[in-house]
Amino acid sequence: MSEKTGQKFNRRNMLISASAAGAGLVLGGGGGYALAHTQGQQAMQQTSNNDIISFYGEKQAGITTPQQDHLHFAAFNLTTQDSNEVASLLRIWTVAAAAMTSGKPIGEGAFPDHAPPPDTGEALGLPAANLTITFGFGPTLFTKDGKDRYGLAARRPEALVDLPSLPGDALDPTRSGGDLCVQACSDNPLVAFHAVRNLARQARGLATIRWSQLGFNRTASTSTQQETPRNLMGFKDGTNNLKVEDPSLMDQHVWAGNEAASWMHGGSYLVARRIRMHLESWDRDFLADQEKVFGRRKVSGAPLTGKQEFDAVDLTAKHPDGTSIIATNAHIRLAREDDNIRILRRGYSFTDGMDKVTGELDAGLFFIAFQRDPRKQFIPLQQKLGQRDLLNEYITHNGSAIFACPPGTQPGGFIGETLFA
């Protein structure tokens, strides 16, 4: 499993070192850029801190590593027809991701004056801020329009299904699907942006961004060490999420095991949904009704059957008149009626400004969940929620994608090596 390495390196040290050495404007020319780069590498060896999450490991980082505050997610269309070029792209991305997640710019050694710098530069001076970069493969990497594009069709995992049409879906194809995905998460939004920008730049000629989504303020806690954040509806979100400190729950619900295609062992399946919230009508709803929708108190986050946030949810408790305290179609009842179906939620709030047609906010939850098998987890859950959830009055799912995230890799290897072996 990927872990915090305890190494100290940040791009700020790199800049300070460079200017102390009289390099002048670090971005002013190739010489300054290169000096900053070299001295930054020394800084990394000399100091230590804890804002670096190792890219290399048995499992990809960004799944069961504690969730950061900001997201830049991008889905890519492959434009190359050659499977060797797809593997080459993954090799290049692996090296770049390992550098950026350690707080280093892309590219080694001195950068030439008369060529574009290998790194775009906007994150120079910034620490890694716990950057993780997680890669995934969409169904269309394996089969597209009935064709075996790269000779990989036979290796498509059974669990990597095309998501069926789900109740209440209003999906926009331009915000859905993708051959590859990159999930960049960091506690600094610019660091996450820089990661996706630079990977997209490296992909030129082989792949283009199909759609992307920025996310702010994680809407889940994935670690017992984190405080539960609030979503844009004002409710604490993530209270009963799986917590990464329990490896047996991760093995049971998140990591693909022996049932999966062998190249996916130690990987996981990512489902992303762009869920627009109709915040104007939500804001007109009475507090008691808002609380009924979720089955929890707005301020404390406590279940309606308890007093404090982490009190157990009692789905059997009744009012004196015999009706259920947590309504029969409350979100937390439907999401947890079956204790065997659990997912690791890792979503973010988003806003893309306003809807030009209605004048309303275009904002909501960019839902991301990791799981061992979407056929047994996300799909049945959403089938139930989409039919009966009280929340449906206030939300619309308008983007959707599924990706198989392969296991991690070690220095010298690359993400996806088990698939392309």
Ligand X SMILES: C=CC1=C(C)c2cc3[nH]c(cc4nc(cc5[nH]c(cc1n2)c(C)c5CCC(=O)O)C(CCC(=O)O)=C4C)c(C)c3C=C
Tell me the backbone φ, ψ of residue 48, rounded to 5 degrees.
Answer: -145, 140
Contact code string over 114-153 relative to ligand X, x by CB under 6 A = ----------------------------------------
At 114, which amino acid appears?
A: H
Give the CA-trace dihedral at 239, 244, 250, 253, to 10 degrees.
20
Options 33, 135, 378, 414; binder of ligand X; rule CB under 6 A? 378
Contact 162, 390 (CB under 8 A): no
The correct pick among 142, 193, 235, 366 for binding ligand X (CB under 6 A) is 235
Q: Give the shortest CB-244-to-ligand X separation in angstroms.
A: 15
Q: How far is CA 414 from the centre of its chain?
A: 20
Shorter beta-carbon distance to ligand X: residue 395 or 405? 395
Q: Considering the complex, what minimum distance in angstroms separates the CB of residue 326 from ligand X? A: 10
- Please select the residue that binds ligand X; options are 26, 99, 141, 385, rule is CB under 6 A: 385
CB of 288 to ligand X, least distance (A): 16
In 12-170, the DSSP E strands lie at 70-78, 132-137
Alpha helices in 21-81 (DSSP H): 30-46
- To 10 degrees, what angle do helices 30-46 and 11-20 make? 120
Residue nearer to ligand X on the CB measure, 214 or 261: 214
Which residue among 69, 119, 237, 417 contacts ligand X (CB under 6 A)?
Answer: 237
Q: Work out whether 241 is an interface residue with ligand X (CB under 6 A).
A: yes
Q: Give whichever of 115 and 312 is closer to ligand X, judged by the CB atom.
A: 312
| Cβ-contact 10, 51 below 8 angstroms | yes
Only one residue has tokens 């070690």, namely 410
Q: Minimum distance from CB of 297 to ligand X (Å)?
A: 11
Nearer to ligand X, 181 or 381 (CB): 381
316: DSSP letter: T
Instruction: Tell me which of 36, 63, 277, 405 binds ligand X, using CB under 6 A.
Output: 277
> Does residue 268 bind ligand X (CB under 6 A)?
no
Report the Cα–Cα distance between both ends of the chain, in Å, rounded: 22
Contact 157, 260 (CB under 8 A): yes
The interface with ligand X within residues 283-322 (CB under 6 A) comprises 294, 296, 313
Q: Tell me, what DSSP letter sits at residue 111?
A: P
Write out the binding residues for ligand X, residues 333-372 only, by CB under 6 A: 335-336, 343, 364-365, 367
Binding letters toward ligand X, positions 71-110, x by CB under 6 A: ----------------------------------------
Quick one: 215 or 266, whose CB is closer to ligand X?
A: 215
Nearer to ligand X, 294 or 403 (CB): 294
Instruction: Report how far residue 309's alpha carbon sits from residue 100's, in angstroms, rounded to the nearest whole number.
Output: 37
Which of 86, 395, 404, 405 touches ligand X (CB under 6 A)? Answer: 395
Q: What is the largest CA-CA distance in the chain?
A: 79
> Which of 43, 159, 275, 326 is the binder for ligand X (CB under 6 A)?
275
DSSP 239-286: TTS--TT-HHHHHHHTS--TTS-GGGTT-EEEEEEEEEE-HHHHHTS-
User: Residues 197, 331, 346, 372: which binds ligand X (CB under 6 A)?
Assistant: 331
> Which residue(s) pair with 133 in the sheet?
184
Residue 414 tokens read as: 């690359």
Pairing of strands 268-277, 132-137: unpaired
Q: How far is residue 16 from each of residues 39, 43, 45, 65, measured CA to CA in Å?
A: 9, 10, 15, 30
Report, in Å, the least distance between residue 285 CB and ligand X. Answer: 13
Does residue 269 interact with ligand X by CB under 6 A? no
Q: Which of 163, 272, 332, 390 binds ligand X (CB under 6 A)?
A: 332
Interface positions with ligand X (CB under 6 A)? 231, 233, 235-241, 273, 275, 277, 294, 296, 313, 331-332, 335-336, 343, 364-365, 367, 378, 381-382, 385, 395
